[in-house]
C-alpha cells in the first residue's frame, strides 16, 4: 500500500516570493497568449467585423445577414457518366442525391424588391447515402468583386449610402477602385450584363476554386457553375421597374407548376498558371469544361418554415474527393457565414425572431 | 496501482498527452472563431482532436478509478485539499462535457460532423435552433472555464513544485523508480 506522502522537509528559510512571482509570470504569459489568439488585443480584420459591416447596424433578427430574401427549394442531383473522372466524391457516383437548396437575391432586406437585385444566388446542400455532405453557395456574377476579404470590406464601406444624399459617395468609390482595381471589371459586369426574367434562366457560378481528386488520385483545380437549361429571356429596365417585388419566386412557382427546372453542373478545369486562389480573376473561356451532372428543382417552400432556414451553406463543407483551394475569399466566406449563422440561430432559438421563424402574428 | 506515491505510467502518459491536446484545443478554438483565413483549417483539426480527447478521457477515468492517485501530503491545509479535489473533478467533467457539447452543437446546427476524409460521426442531438442557441454559447463559456481551471491547475502544480516542494509535482512528472523527492 502507498503511504501518505512525507510532509515538506524542514524549510531552508527560502523566501517563496521569487517562486510565486515566477508562477504568476508564467500564468500571465499563457493567459496573454490565449487572449491574443482570441483577438482580445485586436488582430486586424475579423469575421465579426465583416458581419457588422454587412449588417450596417440594422440586422433583421433571425434572417441571414446577406442574401436575406429567398425561398427554400427541393430537388435532386444526377451525375453524368463523366463526373467520376473529375472527383471520387460519392455524389458523382450515386445515381441521384436529394438537394435541400435555397434561391435568393443579394442584399440584406428580407422584403427587398427582386427587380432591384443585380445579384441572384443559389445554395445547395447535397447529402449522399454515406452521410457525406457537399454544400455550395453560388452567385449570378461571373467572378468575385475583389481578391481579398479586406477588399470586400472596403467595398462595403465605400458603397454604403451617404446619409446626406442617400447614395454612395462617388469620391469614396473612386478611392476604393484605385486601391482595388480588380473591382472595375465587376462594376462593368453589373452595369452591362443583361438581366434575365427568372431564377430558372440565370447562370450561377461557384466563383471560388476547389481541388478535385478522382479515383486514380489525379488532382485538378476546378471551378463550377450551374448553366440553366431554360432559355435566356431578357428583362428590360422598364419591366424591372414595373415588376412585382416578389416576381422571382412567383414566376418560379408558376414555372414549377408546369414541370421541374434544370441546370447543368459545369465543371471547368484550370490550366497550369491559371489564378486558382483569386476569385476575382476569371479563367480564359477555352478551359476544359465537363458537364458533371444535372440539378433539378421540383418545389419551393417559404424560408421562414422551410428546411433551408437553419442551414449554413458554408462552401467549405465538402465530401471526400473535393477540397477547398487557398483562395482567401473562400476561407473568409466560411468564417463570415458562421458568424451570421450563429447570430440568427441565436435570435430564432431565443424567440427574438418571430417574423424570420414564421410565427403567427408576426408583422410582415 | 501507484507505488512510491507516484501516478502510474498510464496516468502520467495520459495526463501530459492530454495536457498538450487540451491546451492546443483551447488555442485552436479561440483562434478559429476570429480568423478570416484559418477557420476551415483549424476546424478540420478541432473536430478530430476533440473526439480524441473524449476517447482518451474515458480511458483515463477508468484508469483513475482502478488505480487511485497518490494521496495529497498530510500537512496540506484542508482548503487546498478541497480545491485540489474539486478542480480535478471539474477538469474531468469539462474533458467530457466540451467534446460532447461540441458534437451536440454541430448536430443541433445541422452540420456534418467530419473527422477526416470521408469519416464522420452521426448526429447526437436534433437539428434545432433552440438547442443550438443554447449549446453554441455554452461551448464558448465552458471553454473559458476550462482555460481558467487549467491555469489554476498549472499554478497549483508549480506552487507544489517550487514553493511547497512536497513531491506532488514529481508524482505526476516522474515515475516512482525509487526516487524520493528532495
| CATH number of the CATH domain containing B92 | 1.20.950.20
pLDDT of residue A1: 38
Has residue B126 been placed in a domain? yes
pLDDT of residue B86: 97
Inform me whether the pLDDT recorded for B133 exceeds 70.
yes
pLDDT of residue A2: 44
pLDDT of residue A14: 81
The boundaries of the domain holding residue B136 are: 9-173
Q: How far apart are CA A247 and CA B148, in angstroms?
A: 55
CB pair distance less than 8 Å for B71 and A5: yes
Contacts of the segment B29-34: beta carbons below 8 A, 24+ positions apart? B29/B143, B30/A34, B30/A37, B30/A38, B30/A39, B30/B143, B31/A37, B31/A38, B33/A38, B33/A47, B33/A338, B33/B140, B34/A38, B34/A39, B34/A43, B34/A46, B34/A47, B34/A48
Is residue A108 a contact partner of residue A65, using CB atoms and an 8 Å limit? yes
B130 contacts in chain A (CB < 8 Å): 348-349
A317 contacts in chain B (CB < 8 Å): 111-112, 114
User: Chain A closest CA to B154's CA: distance in Å?
Assistant: 8
CB pair distance less than 8 Å for A4 and B74: yes
Q: What is the mean pLDDT of chain B?
A: 93
CB pair distance less than 8 Å for A350 and B110: no
User: Chain A closest CA to B167's CA: distance in Å?
Assistant: 7
Has residue B71 been placed in a domain? yes
Has residue B118 been placed in a domain? yes
Exposure of B162 in the CB half-sphere (CA atoms within 13 A): 17
B134 contacts in chain A (CB < 8 Å): 349
Chain B (97-116) residues lying within 8 Å, Cβ to Cβ, of chain A: 109-112, 114
Q: Which of A24, A131, A310 sits opposite B127 (nearest CB)?
A: A310
**C-alpha Rg value of chain A to the nearest Å:** 25
Has residue B179 been placed in a domain? no
Tens digits of pLDDT across chain A (364 residues):
345 555 555 555 689 999 999 999 999 999 999 999 999 988 689 999 999 999 988 899 999 999 999 999 999 999 999 999 999 999 999 999 999 999 999 999 999 999 999 999 999 999 999 999 999 999 999 999 999 999 999 998 898 888 888 888 999 999 999 999 999 999 999 999 999 999 999 999 999 999 999 999 999 999 999 999 999 999 999 999 999 999 999 999 999 999 999 999 999 999 999 999 999 999 999 999 999 999 999 999 999 999 999 999 999 999 999 999 999 999 999 999 999 999 999 999 999 999 999 986 655 4
The owner of cell 480584420 is: A45
Q: Which of A5, A311, A334 sits opposite B70 (nearest CB)?
A: A5
Has residue B1 been placed in a domain? no
Residue B138's CB is within 10 A of a number of other CB atoms, namely: 16
Has residue B3 been placed in a domain? no
More confident position, A170 or B182: A170
Give the predicted TM-score (pTM) of the model: 0.93
Distance between alpha carbon A161 and the CA centroid of its chain, in Å? 24
In angstroms, the Cα distances linking A108 to A1, A15, A43, A60, A196 are 70, 63, 27, 8, 21
The count of CB pairs under 8 A between chains A and B is 157
Inform me whether the pLDDT recorded for B3 exceeds 60.
no
Has residue B180 been placed in a domain? no
A67 is catalytic: yes
- Domain A46-147+182-349: which topology? Catalase HpII,  Chain A, domain 1 (2.40.180)
CB pair distance less than 8 Å for B71 and A19: no
**Number of domains within chain B:** 1
State which residue of chain A sits closest to B165, comparing Cα positions. Answer: A8
User: Chain A closest CA to B148's CA: distance in Å?
Assistant: 9
User: Chain A closest CA to B57's CA: distance in Å?
Assistant: 23
CB pair distance less than 8 Å for B155 and A324: no
State which residue of chain A sits closest to B170, comparing Cα positions. Answer: A5
pLDDT of residue A58: 85
ipTM: 0.93
B110 contacts in chain A (CB < 8 Å): 310-312
Inform me whether the pLDDT recorded for B141 exceeds 50.
yes
pLDDT of residue A160: 85
Query: Dihedral of the CA atoms A278, A279, A280, A286 (nearest 10)?
Result: 100
Has residue B178 been placed in a domain? no
Chain B (119-138) residues lying within 8 Å, Cβ to Cβ, of chain A: 120, 122, 127-134, 136-137
Amino acid at each position: 500500500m502507498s503511504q501518505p506522502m512525507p510532509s515538506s522537509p524542514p524549510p531552508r528559510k527560502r523566501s517563496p516570493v521569487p517562486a510565486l512571482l515566477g508562477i504568476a509570470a508564467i500564468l500571465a504569459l499563457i493567459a496573454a497568449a490565449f487572449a491574443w489568439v482570441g483577438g482580445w488585443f485586436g488582430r486586424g480584420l475579423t469575421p465579426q467585423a465583416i458581419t457588422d459591416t454587412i449588417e450596417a447596424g440594422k440586422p433583421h433578427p433571425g434572417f441571414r445577414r446577406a442574401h436575406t430574401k429567398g425561398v427554400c427549394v427541393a430537388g435532386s442531383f444526377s451525375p453524368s457518366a463523366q463526373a467520376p473522372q473529375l472527383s471520387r466524391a460519392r455524389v458523382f457516383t450515386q445515381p441521384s442525391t436529394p438537394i435541400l437548396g435555397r434561391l435568393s437575391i443579394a442584399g440584406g432586406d428580407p422584403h427587398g424588391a427582386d427587380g432591384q437585385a443585380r445579384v441572384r444566388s443559389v445554395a445547395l446542400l447535397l447529402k449522399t447515402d454515406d452521410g457525406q455532405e457537399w454544400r455550395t453557395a453560388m452567385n449570378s456574377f461571373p467572378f468575385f468583386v475583389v481578391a481579398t476579404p479586406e477588399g470586400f470590406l472596403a467595398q462595403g464601406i465605400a458603397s454604403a449610402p451617404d446619409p446626406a444624399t442617400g447614395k454612395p459617395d462617388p469620391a469614396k468609390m473612386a478611392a476604393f477602385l484605385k486601391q482595388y482595381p480588380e473591382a472595375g471589371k465587376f462594376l462593368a459586369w453589373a452595369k452591362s450584363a443583361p438581366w434575365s426574367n427568372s431564377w430558372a434562366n440565370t447562370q450561377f457560378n461557384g466563383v471560388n476554386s476547389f481541388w478535385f481528386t478522382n479515383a486514380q488520385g489525379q488532382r485538378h483545380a476546378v471551378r463550377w457553375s450551374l448553366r440553366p437549361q431554360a432559355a435566356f429571356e431578357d428583362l428590360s429596365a422598364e419591366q424591372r421597374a414595373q415588376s412585382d417585388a416578389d416576381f422571382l419566386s412567383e414566376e418560379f412557382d408558376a414555372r414549377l407548376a408546369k414541370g421541374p427546372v434544370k441546370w447543368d453542373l459545369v465543371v471547368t478545369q484550370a490550366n497550369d498558371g491559371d489564378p486558382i486562389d483569386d476569385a476575382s480573376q476569371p479563367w480564359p473561356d477555352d478551359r476544359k469544361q465537363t458537364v458533371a451532372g444535372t440539378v433539378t428543382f421540383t418545389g419551393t417552400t417559404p424560408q421562414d418554415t422551410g428546411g433551408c432556414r437553419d442551414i449554413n451553406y458554408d462552401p467549405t463543407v465538402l465530401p471526400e474527393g473535393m477540397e477547398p483551394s487557398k483562395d482567401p475569399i473562400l476561407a473568409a466566406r466560411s468564417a463570415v457565414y458562421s458568424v451570421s449563422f450563429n447570430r440568427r440561430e441565436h435570435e430564432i432559438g431565443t424567440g427574438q425572431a418571430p417574423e424570420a421563424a414564421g410565427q403567427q402574428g408576426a408583422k410582415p | 496501482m501507484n507505488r512510491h506515491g507516484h501516478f502510474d505510467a498510464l496516468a502520467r502518459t495520459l495526463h501530459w498527452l492530454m495536457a498538450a491536446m487540451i491546451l492546443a484545443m483551447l488555442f485552436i478554438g479561440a483562434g478559429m472563431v476570429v480568423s478570416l483565413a484559418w477557420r476551415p483549417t483549424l476546424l478540420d483539426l478541432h473536430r478530430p482532436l476533440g473526439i480524441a480527447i473524449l476517447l482518451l478521457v474515458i480511458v483515463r477515468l477508468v484508469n483513475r478509478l482502478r488505480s487511485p492517485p497518490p494521496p495529497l501530503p498530510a500537512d496540506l491545509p484542508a482548503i487546498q485539499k478541497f480545491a485540489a479535489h474539486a478542480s480535478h473533478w471539474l477538469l474531468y467533467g469539462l474533458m467530457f462535457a466540451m467534446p460532447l457539447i461540441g458534437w451536440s452543437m454541430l448536430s443541433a446546427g445541422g452540420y456534418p460532423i467530419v473527422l477526416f476524409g470521408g469519416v464522420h460521426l452521426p448526429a447526437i442531438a436534433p437539428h434545432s435552433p433552440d438547442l443550438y442557441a443554447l449549446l453554441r454559447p455554452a461551448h464558448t463559456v465552458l471553454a473559458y472555464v476550462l482555460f481558467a481551471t487549467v491555469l489554476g491547475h498549472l499554478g497549483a502544480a508549480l506552487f507544489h513544485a517550487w514553493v511547497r516542494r512536497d513531491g506532488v509535482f514529481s508524482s505526476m512528472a516522474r515515475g516512482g523508480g525509487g526516487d524520493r523527492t528532495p
